[in-house]
Each structure stands twice: as C-alpha cells, then as structure tokens.
Amino acid sequence: MPSSRIVPSALATALLAGLALASPATAAPAPAPTARHQVETFAEDGTIGRAEVPVTNAKAAPQRLAAPVQGDGDVSAVVHNGSTATKLDVVVIGDGYTAAEQAKFHSDAATKWQEITAVEPYASYRSLFNVWAVDAVSAESGVTGDPDRATTRRTALGSYFWCGDVERLLCVDTDAVERYAAKAPAADLVIVVANSAKYGGAGYNDVSSELGYSGIATVAGGNAKSGQVAVHETGHSLGKLADEYWYDGQGGYTGKEPAESNLSKQTLAQMKRTKTKWYRWLGQTSPDGGTVGAYQGGGYYPTGLYRPTDNSIMRSLGREFNLPGREAMIAGFHRYATTLASDTPTAAPLGASAVVTVELPTPGTRLRWYLDGRELVGLRDRTTVRTADLHLGKGQTRELTARATDPTPAVLDPDLKLLLTDTLTWQVTR
C-alpha cells in the first residue's frame, strides 16, 4: 500500500497562520480558520488513500449562472421502484454539463448506476432503490483540472481535479451539492457525476446533512472504472464499514476495539473463543477471494488490527465485498428500504369486499398472512388477498397482518436479521 500520513481528525477546523510577532496590543487579528474535509482518494491501480482538503477552492468555486436557466434544478427518475418511504433513495447530481448536455448527464447517471448495481449485494437488491437525477446546469462544459491542471471551468458544483495537489482527487463544493440534493423527493445517498472521462473521484465521509444522507461520492461520468469509487464509499455510508487498507510506517494500533463490524483487535483464535465480530463467517469462502479469517492490517494501521479477508473492495477498488461486508451492506439497505410495501392504505378500516395487495421487492422473500394473530396457511406467499375470503361474521372487526421476511443466507447475525422482516396490518370490518 502507498505510504502516507494519517490525518487524525474527521473534520479539521484549525489552520491559523500569519500571527504577527508584535505585542498583543498591536497584533493583527489572525485569519479565520479554514474549514476542511477529510476525503478518500482513489488511484488508477485501485489503491485508496486519504487527504485533507478545503471545503471550497477559490479557483474552482461554483460559478452562479447570470440568470436562471430553464431546466436547472429539474428532477427526474432514473429508477422508480416505489414510495420514498419504502425505498432507499439515491440522488445523482451532474456537474460540468451545460443546458445542451443534460441528456448526456442522464445517460452518464444511468451508466454509473448500472456499474454500481453490477456488484453484489446491489445486484440482488436493485428493487429496493429509487434513483433521482437532479439537473445542475453549468455555464461551461467539463470540469476544472481536465485535461490539465491549468484548465478552469465554470460549473454549478465547482468540481475540480488536483484537489489537495492530488491529480485524481475530484473535489466538489458540498454546500452546492446540498442545495441541489434538496430538490429531490428524498436523499439517502448522494453521488456527483462530473462531465469528464478522466479517472478520478472522492469520498466525503464527514459530511453531515440536514437531508439525512451521511456522505457524498464524486465520480467521473465518462470513465468506465469510476463507478467503483461510489461502491466503496457506500461501504461507509450504508454498510458502516471501516477501511481495510493501511499506511506503511504508521505503527501499530493500540486503541480500543473498533465499532465497525469488519475490523477487530482479536486474532482468529480469540474471535472463535469470544464469538464476536465476524466469527460466524470464519472458514467460509468469500466472494472477494480466499477464506474468511483474521488478516493483519486495516483501519490505516499495518499491525494491531485484523480484517476479514485479504483484499475486499474496502481495501482496493475492482474487488467484491467480503462476506461480512455483504452482510453489513444488506443490513444498511434495509435501514432505509422495507421488505414489504403496499398501496392499500392501513389507516382506514377495510370493508368486507376490499382487495389487499402487497409488494415483495426482493426475490425469494417469504410472505405470511395472519388473522388476529393466527396464520392463514392457505394464503402463504400470495400477494393479493380478498377480504371476502376471510369469512367475517356480521359486525365483526378483525386484524389482518402481512409479514414478509428476506431469508437471505448472506445475513447470519440474528440482530441484523430483524431488519429483514416487516409487517403491515389492516383493520377489516363487516
């Protein structure tokens, strides 16, 4: 892995410079602290690192259009699978696309989503997502730093390569991103697609948003490999996974047991004995290659911490999530999306001739129906139920419940399995 220094703070706020050497009575005021983000960087060979960068860059700051432009801020559905209340809503915003290039942005956005959903567990859970495209009209085509460092473009989100003096680091004005993301019906995950074929991207994991999303990924819309950046970043924002790479020369880890599910201070033998972390997966063949065990190095430290497999996508791009990582990602999907949905309202009582229809977005989901808590075995896995078939007595009010469970073998943790079951209940009156 590349050598680099660790920047310990998640969001640094102190860079005070230029303090005068005069007495306190005559000293000039210090400049205001420069707000900074800690971001992840992605090299073309798949290796990942970190850097600390300014929130904005004066040279590449967003250039507001002189007057409102038709179409700026328009929202459309790239993928619509259901209500925002029951789906995980991804917002894709374009930058460096002029008014005449918005169709190109929509094509690039759809292509990036195809790249992301080619990776498991996205591939198996596509129907849990809505994807919204937000049009951000830029004054000029392309982004700053492409094709060379001297190139400057006036764009809506101020995207720029050479961020923090790293050529492939594609930074963005996060305040501008927030404004455009707010135009979508909901935002659980935000991806910025830049109008560039140059490989690059960035991961903002320290961004807190009033909209509820917990990070921003930037990718190059015209580069076939940049979608992997977004996949890795969602490992953090959705799966709550730690990075599994490290820096040479960093020294050994001596802190407490990490909260993330894919890092541990424990050796393989200790994990088996304590039955913690990913012990349920030990010895199984992982989709990223090799066997799940305890491999030294991770969380930026070469020693003192262990990761589940040798080289998953949380260590380098172009890989798969390992088995514990897949489990965490599926749990992350279900924190936003439901296993069961229905267009039949639950708030008002249903009559004796109503029809109840439910949706099971994940293939293989088990569906069970209950009347006042007793299972109606004959209705198993039926997505449509007629209340007339319940044979209610006159004047009776009964409780009809649908319970759906995703039985995926990719989740072993009993606590996480609870997220994979959802119920809906209706009052039925004759």
The mean pLDDT value for 194-203 works out to: 92
DSSP track, 123-167: GGGGGGEEEEEE----SSSS-BTSSSTT-----SS--BSSBTTBT
Residue at token pair 């937000």? 134
Read off the pLDDT of residues 56-112 as tens digits, 9 standing for 90 and up.
Answer: 665 666 766 666 788 999 999 999 999 999 999 999 999 999 999 999 999 999 999
Instruction: Indicate if 79 and 216 belong to the same structural domain.
Output: yes
| C-alpha to C-alpha distances, 425 to 278, 290, 334, 341, nearest whole angstrom | 35, 45, 19, 11
Instruction: Indicate if 63 and 179 belong to the same structural domain.
Output: yes
Note the pLDDT of residue 360: 95
Question: Does residue 12 register a pLDDT over 60?
Answer: no
Read off the pLDDT of residues 393-429 as tens digits, 9 standing for 90 and up.
Answer: 888 899 999 999 999 999 999 999 999 999 999 999 9
Each residue of 291-328: b (16+ CB within 10 Å) or e?
A: ebbbbebbbbbbebbbbbbbbbbbbbbebbbbbbbbbb
Question: In this structure, is residue 291 part of a structural domain?
Answer: no
Query: What is the pTM (predicted TM-score) of this model?
Result: 0.85
Instruction: Identify the domain containing residue 188 by its residue range.
Output: 36-237
Given phi > 0 = left and psi -120 to 50 = alpha, else beta, which region is 58? Answer: alpha
| C-alpha to C-alpha distances, 381 to 359, 365, 403, nearest whole angstrom | 11, 8, 10
Residue at token pair 């830049």? 194
Question: How many CB atoms lie under 10 A from the CB of residue 260?
Answer: 19
Instruction: Indicate if 232 and 345 belong to the same structural domain.
Output: no
Note the pLDDT of residue 352: 85
Check if the beta carbon of residue 181 is closer than 8 Å to that of residue 203: no
Question: In this structure, is residue 222 part of a structural domain?
Answer: yes
User: What's the domain count of the chain?
Assistant: 2
Alpha-carbon distance 355 to 314, whole Å?
46
Helix (H, G, I), strand (E, B) or coil at 236: helix
Q: Report the CATH number at residue 105.
A: 3.40.390.10
% of the chain with per-residue pLDDT over 70? 88
Instruction: Indicate if 52 and 178 belong to the same structural domain.
Output: yes
Alpha-carbon distance 403 to 413, whole Å?
20
Question: In this structure, is residue 167 part of a structural domain?
Answer: yes
Question: In this structure, is residue 420 part of a structural domain?
Answer: yes
Question: Does residue 10 register a pLDDT over 60?
Answer: no
Residue at token pair 């039955």? 275
Alpha-carbon distance 174 to 190, whole Å?
11
Alpha-carbon distance 297 to 304, whole Å?
7
> What is the rounded average pLDDT for all residues in the chain?
87
Answer with the one of 209, 237, 265 that is the final residue of a domain: 237
Q: Report the CATH number at residue 368.
A: 2.60.40
Any idea how long the chain is? 430
- Write out the two tokens for 147: 């094709």
- DSSP character at residue 16: -
Note the pLDDT of residue 59: 62
Read off the pLDDT of residues 373-384 as tens digits, 9 standing for 90 and up.
Answer: 999 999 999 999
Q: Is the dihedral of CA 114, 120, 125, 131 positive or negative?
A: negative
Instruction: Indicate if 219 and 107 belong to the same structural domain.
Output: yes
Note the pLDDT of residue 242: 95
Q: How confident is the model at residue 245 (pLDDT cuts 50, 70, 90)?
A: very high
Task: Find the range with the poorest average confidence among 175-189, 199-213, 302-316.
Answer: 199-213
Selected residue with higher pLDDT from 195 and 62: 195
Among the listed residues 316, 17, 60, 33, the one whose alpha carbon sits nearest the alpha carbon of residue 163 = 60
Question: Does residue 8 register a pLDDT over 60?
Answer: no
Selected residue with higher pLDDT from 36 and 9: 36
Question: In this structure, is residue 312 part of a structural domain?
Answer: no
Question: Does residue 335 register a pLDDT over 90?
Answer: yes
Answer with the one of 204, 237, 270 that is the final residue of a domain: 237
Note the pLDDT of residue 29: 43
Question: In this structure, is residue 197 part of a structural domain?
Answer: yes
Question: In this structure, is residue 115 part of a structural domain?
Answer: yes
Question: Does residue 178 register a pLDDT over 50?
Answer: yes
Question: In this structure, is residue 334 part of a structural domain?
Answer: no
Each residue of 231-254: b (16+ CB within 10 Å) or e?
A: bbbbbbbbbbbbbbbbbeebeebe
Note the pLDDT of residue 56: 63
Answer with the one of 220, 237, 254 that is the final residue of a domain: 237
Alpha-carbon distance 75 to 203, whole Å?
24
Read off the pLDDT of residues 249-305 as tens digits, 9 standing for 90 and up.
Answer: 889 999 999 999 999 999 999 999 999 999 999 999 999 999 999 999 999 999 999
Check if the beta carbon of residue 358 is closer than 8 Å to that of residue 402: yes
